[in-house]
Structure 1
C-alpha cells in the first residue's frame, strides 16, 4: 500500500477529524479562559496591592533609581537585575487558567452524572397504541 494512500485513509478516518475539531475547540476555549483570567480575575488581585507584578525586580548589582520600570532599568550599564515579577504574573495566570478549566470540567462532569442518573431512573416509555392493539390481536389469535 502506498504511503499516500495510507495517509489519505488516516486523514479520512473519523478519529482524525474528531481530534482536529477538539484541538480547534480547545484553542478557542483557551482564548476565552485566558481573557476571563486577564480581564476578570487578575484585576481582583489588585485588591491585594498590585494589579501586575511584571515590573517587580531586585537589583543584584548596580545603582537603579527607585520606581524605574524594569525595561528601563535593564538598559543601565553595569546593572544586574533579577526580574521576578513577570515570572510571578505568568505563574499566577497559568494557575488561574488551570483552575478555571478544572471548574468547567467539574461542572460538565456533574451535568453528565445528573443526566445519567435521570436516564437510569426514567421508566421505559409506554408502547404506542398501535403496538398495544397488535399485541392484543396476537394474543387473541394464539388463544384460538
Structure 2
C-alpha cells in the first residue's frame, strides 16, 4: 500500500496539481488585493463615496453584512474573468506551438516526400 501511494504521489499529475494549488492561492491573494484595494474604492466613488464593506443592517441581534457579500461577488467575477483570460492566453500559445511543430517536417516525412516524387517521376517516364 505504501509503494502504491508513493507511486501515486510522485506522478507528474499530482505534483502539477500541487503547484497549481499553490500558484492559485497566490493568484487569489493578488486578485483579492486588486478587488479590495483598487476596484471597490472606485465602485464606491462611482456610487457617491459608498463603502461596500460597511454596508449592513441589523435584524434582531444579528448584523447582516451584505456589503461584504457584494464585495465577495465582485471578487468572484474578477477572479473568474482573470482565470478565463489567463487560460485563453495559454491555450493560444499552446495552439501556436503545435502549429509550428506541424509546420516543420520530420526527417521521415522528408524521406517519404522524396520517395513519392521519385515514384511519380518513374510513373511519368514509363507512360511515355
With the shorter chain as reference, the TM-score category is 0.5 to 0.7
Q: TM-score, length-normalised on structure 1?
A: 0.57
Q: TM-score, length-normalised on structure 2?
A: 0.63
Give the alignment's Cα RMSD to 1 decimal. 3.8
Q: Which runs of 5+ in 1 are unaligned?
A: 61-79
User: Which 4+ residue blocks in structure 1 deviate beyond 6 angstroms?
Assistant: none
Q: Give me the whole-angstrom Cα distance separating, in 2, the residues matched to 1:24 and 1:114.
A: 23
**Residue number in structure 2 paired with 1:58:** 58
Q: Which runs of 5+ in 2 are unaligned?
A: 123-128
The answer to whether the Cα contact below 8 Å between 1:37 and 1:96 also exists between their aligned partners in 2 is yes
SS of structure 2 residue aligned to 1:58: strand
Q: Work out which of the residue numbers 60, 73, 95 in structure 2 matches 1:116.
A: 95
User: Displacement, 1:53?
Assistant: 3.9
The answer to whether the Cα contact below 8 Å between 1:57 and 1:83 also exists between their aligned partners in 2 is yes
SS of structure 1 residue aligned to 2:54: coil
**Residue number in structure 2 paired with 1:44:** 42
Q: Work out which of the residue numbers 26, 29, 32 in structure 1 matches 2:27.
A: 29
**Residue number in structure 2 paired with 1:66:** none
Q: Give me the whole-angstrom Cα distance separating, in 2, the residues matched to 1:58 and 1:30.
A: 31
**Residue number in structure 2 paired with 1:76:** none
Q: Give me the whole-angstrom Cα distance separating, in 2, the residues matched to 1:126 and 1:53.
A: 56
| Structure with the greater alpha carbon radius of gyration | 1
Per chain length, whose mean CA-contact separation is higher, i.e. which structure has more relative contact order (CA < 8 Å, sep 6+)? Answer: 1
* Count of residue correspondences: 112
**Residue number in structure 2 paired with 1:67:** none
The answer to whether the Cα contact below 8 Å between 1:55 and 1:83 also exists between their aligned partners in 2 is no
- Counterparts of 1:39-118 in structure 2, within 5 Å, are 39-47=37-45, 48=47, 49-54=49-54, 56-58=56-58, 60=60, 80=61, 82-84=62-64, 87-111=65-89, 112-113=91-92, 116=95
User: Displacement, 1:46?
Assistant: 2.0
**Structure with the larger helix share:** 2
The answer to whether the Cα contact below 8 Å between 2:52 and 2:70 also exists between their aligned partners in 1 is no
